Amino acid sequence: MIRPALFETISTMKAHKWFGKVTRVVGLTIESTGPNAAVGDICVIHSGRQGTGKIRAEVVGFKESNVLLMPLSDTLDIAPGNLVECLDEPLTIPVGHHLIGQVIDGIGEPLGEKGNSKQRDVRSVEQAPPNPLSRPRITERLSLGVRVIDGLFSVGKGQRIGIFAGSGVGKSTLLAMIAKYSAADVNVIALIGERGREVKDFVERDLGEEGMKKTVLVVVTSDQPALMRVKGALTATAVAEYFRDQGLNVNLMMDSVTRFAMAQREIGLAIGEPPTTKGYPPSVFALLPRLLERSGTNIHGSITAFYTVLVDGDDMNEPIADAVRGILDGHLVLDRHLANKGQFPAVNVLKSVSRVMSDIVSEAHLASASNLRELLSVYTEAEDLISIGAYKRGTNQKLDEAVTAYPEIISFIKQATNEQVTFEDTEQMLLGRF
């Protein structure tokens, strides 16, 4: 007698497999005749002269009767006639609490020595965003432990924030501070297109042992294929969604969305898409909202997301920055001029905004934050006059007040990387001074 479990296994087995053959490799893409597959399916290319190597690739399009594949690893050893086997499923990754404290790659495999063989859940990296009508409103604040953000741009659980900056202005350091000091249950940090040298620096110097205790780190370095960089962002989001569905409050931090967009640009141009906006094909601007809308709240928990945007030449209006800013719920602008003056975090208070702050803090807090911004604005407008000694006290009462308060404003904004501040202390300091 056949056992029920065995009968179910046999009944779901496929009686055949689809195969194709490699015809040519052009740049980043592999063309094959067959197999019968859909866009997004994962295939295995049996490479090498004996066909013993296995290279995973994804179906990214079709050209007449040929299938266009993009590899998840190098294309070495691929030759005409290599068999292409369709797995009939999209990319899936193992998820679970075993990932906390681990460093994984763009397809969920551990990069370090902390592999785990226990039973795991499996989740597709491609997920639909939550239904907009089923998303709870953001009404609860999240303490980040960074004074300038908690005080002037308070973040709610489930909010999505962009961090806009040029290179070397302190994005990674700010993310590490949030990871260590925030009140979130789990951090999921994605380093997309990062320099290989900086990965260990980020783990050991910026995060440290304490930060890694509640962190899942997804790393895809700049030398890896474009498809792997795109999948790294999707994998990190899928991991964060798993923890959100467990009822947890998750911090998702991605550095950077710009390199994710550049990877998709490589893929789009390779399969024949026309370059439209400053060299970016249409698929980039279609993929960005699909990625960014997956974070936020759902009926189980929340994903509070921080996406860094690397702006070329500090141009805040370049296409990717402009598109991302229009999707997210606020943005923090890191200013190179402030960093050069030694002000860290180098947040430009006058160019940054949180779109949900008025819903999550008290009226007194909001009034004090507005007063601080006004004083800083008045001082900044007259800074040149003050610097050359042309300002005379008593000619403008508001400017006199701003000049007096300026040292305290800078003291409030600046914070050492090893200094942790609670939200309550930040609020008390803000209300007491401004």
The answer to whether residues 186 and 158 touch, using CB atoms and an 8 Å cutoff, is no
Q: Kindly compute the dihedral angle of the four CA atoms of residues 356, 357, 363, 367, in this order, to the nearest 10 degrees.
A: -130
Give the Cβ contact number of residue 114 at 10 Å.
12
Taking CA atoms, 166 is separated from 146, 199, 371, 381, in Å, by 20, 19, 29, 24
- Provide the 8-state DSSP code for 202: I
Q: Which tokens go with 110?
A: 């551990």
Q: What is the pLDDT of residue 47?
A: 87
Q: Which tokens go with 401?
A: 């007040």
Q: What is the pLDDT of residue 115?
A: 54
Paired with 66 in beta bridges are: 33, 63
For residue 326, the one-letter residue type is G
Q: What is the pLDDT of residue 290?
A: 95
List of residues 6+ apart from 275 with CB closer than 8 A: 269, 281
- Tell me whether the omega of the peptide bond preceding residue 35 falls within 30 degrees of 0, making it cis: yes
- Provide the 8-state DSSP code for 84: E
Query: pTM of the entire structure?
Result: 0.91
Region at 88 (left for phi over 0; alpha for psi -120 to 50; beta for the rest)? left
> What are the pLDDT tens digits along the chain (434 aa)?
556 666 666 566 566 777 899 999 988 899 999 899 999 999 999 987 666 789 999 999 999 889 999 999 888 888 899 999 999 889 999 999 999 999 999 999 998 765 554 556 899 999 999 999 999 999 999 999 999 999 999 999 999 999 999 888 888 899 999 999 999 999 999 999 988 888 998 888 888 888 899 999 999 999 999 999 999 999 999 999 999 999 999 999 999 899 999 999 999 999 989 998 888 999 999 999 999 999 999 999 999 999 999 887 666 778 999 999 999 999 999 998 999 888 999 999 999 999 999 999 999 999 999 999 999 999 999 888 877 877 778 778 899 999 999 999 999 999 999 999 999 999 999 998 88
Helices 423-433 and 363-381: angle between axes, nearest 10 degrees = 60
Taking CA atoms, 182 is separated from 32, 137, 144, 177, 358, in Å, by 49, 21, 4, 8, 20
Instruction: Specify the 3-state DSSP secondary structure of 175.
Output: helix
Region at 230 (left for phi over 0; alpha for psi -120 to 50; beta for the rest)? alpha
Instruction: Specify the 3-state DSSP secondary structure of 47.
Output: strand
Q: What is the pLDDT of residue 3?
A: 65
Report CA 53 to chain centroid distance, whole Å.
33
Compute the distance between CA of residue 50 and CA of residue 149 in angstroms, rounded to an integer.
Answer: 58
Q: Which domains does the chain have, with CATH numbers?
A: 18-90 (2.40.10.170), 93-361 (3.40.50.12240), 364-432 (1.20.1270.330)
Q: Where are the alpha helices (DSSP H) in 24-167?
A: 147-152
3-state secondary structure labels for all residues of 329-372? CEEEEECHHHHHCCCCCCECHHHCEECCHHHHCCHHHHHHHHHH
Instruction: Specify the 3-state DSSP secondary structure of 145.
Output: coil
Q: What is the pLDDT of residue 10?
A: 59
Q: What is the pLDDT of residue 31?
A: 95
Compute the distance between CA of residue 414 and CA of residue 149 in angstroms, rounded to an integer.
Answer: 11
For residue 348, the one-letter residue type is N
